[in-house]
């Protein structure tokens, strides 16, 4: 599984999505593009890479803050669906973890949905995994939200190295793909 960090080049201030080792490797390039005003974490598992190798404020959902422990310095948290300026939306999507959060960015050309490990790509197929049975119902509710969102590119944190790191989509394709995941989880499967 290859993990990535993405730099969103925005007039309102660049943002990084996902914490990964790639931040250190790309520090110079990030600086050349104007740096970043914030790093948005999808879920607590990103804490395994510690604080990013650049000076950037880190934000995470309040319910995953404790899961990061002292490994990442947190500048702020959020608890609900909200907007960052007019182009970037914070969407709590609990299920993978209690504080999993997706981010919807309208670049003006495409609408990118950053889902972290909530939905990832395995051999090009959209996948999900229930890690905690107590969160299964939350996962299903979050998947229903995502199924009906308007976006055209899925951008997970991780993807297997034998397929693309992102997935272009259309509303009918999104409904079908997320519907397949919902059916599996409703039938008691873990992934």
pLDDT tens-digit series, residues 3-34 = 999 999 999 999 999 999 889 889 999 999 99
Instruction: List, in sequence order, every residue forming a beta bridge with 158; answer none if it has no partner.
Output: 3
Read off the pLDDT of each residue in 108-137 and give the average, rounded to a whole number.
96
What is the CATH T-level fold of the domain 2-186, as seen in this structure?
A: Metallo-beta-lactamase; Chain A (3.60.15)
Q: What percent of the chain has pLDDT over 70?
A: 100
0.95 cut: is pTM over it? yes
Band the pLDDT of 176: cuts 50, 70, 90: very high
Q: How confident is the model at residue 71 (pLDDT cuts 50, 70, 90)?
A: confident
Q: Give residue limits of the domains in the chain.
A: 2-186
Q: What is the pLDDT of residue 114?
A: 98
- pLDDT, one tens digit per residue, over 42-61 is 999 999 999 998 999 999 99
């Amino acid at each position: 599984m290859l993990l990535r960090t993405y730099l969103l080049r925005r007039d309102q201030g660049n943002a990084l999505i996902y914490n990964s080792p790639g931040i250190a490797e790309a520090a110079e390039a990030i600086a050349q593009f104007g740096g970043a005003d914030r790093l948005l974490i999808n879920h607590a598992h990103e804490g395994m890479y510690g604080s990013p190798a650049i000076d950037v404020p880190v934000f995470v959902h309040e319910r995953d803050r404790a899961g990061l422990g002292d490994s990442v310095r947190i500048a702020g948290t959020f608890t609900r669906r909200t907007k960052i300026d007019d182009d970037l939306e914070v969407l709590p999507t609990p299920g993978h973890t209690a504080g999993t959060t997706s981010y919807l960015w309208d670049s003006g050309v495409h609408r990118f949905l950053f889902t972290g490990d909530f939905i990832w790509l395995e051999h090009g197929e959209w996948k999900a995994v229930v890690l905690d049975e107590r969160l299964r119902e939350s996962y299903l509710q979050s998947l229903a939200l995502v199924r009906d969102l308007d976006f055209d590119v899925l951008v997970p944190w991780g993807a297997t190295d034998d397929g693309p790191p992102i997935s272009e989509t259309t509303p009918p394709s999104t409904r079908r793909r997320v519907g397949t995941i919902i059916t599996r989880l409703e039938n008691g499967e873990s992934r």
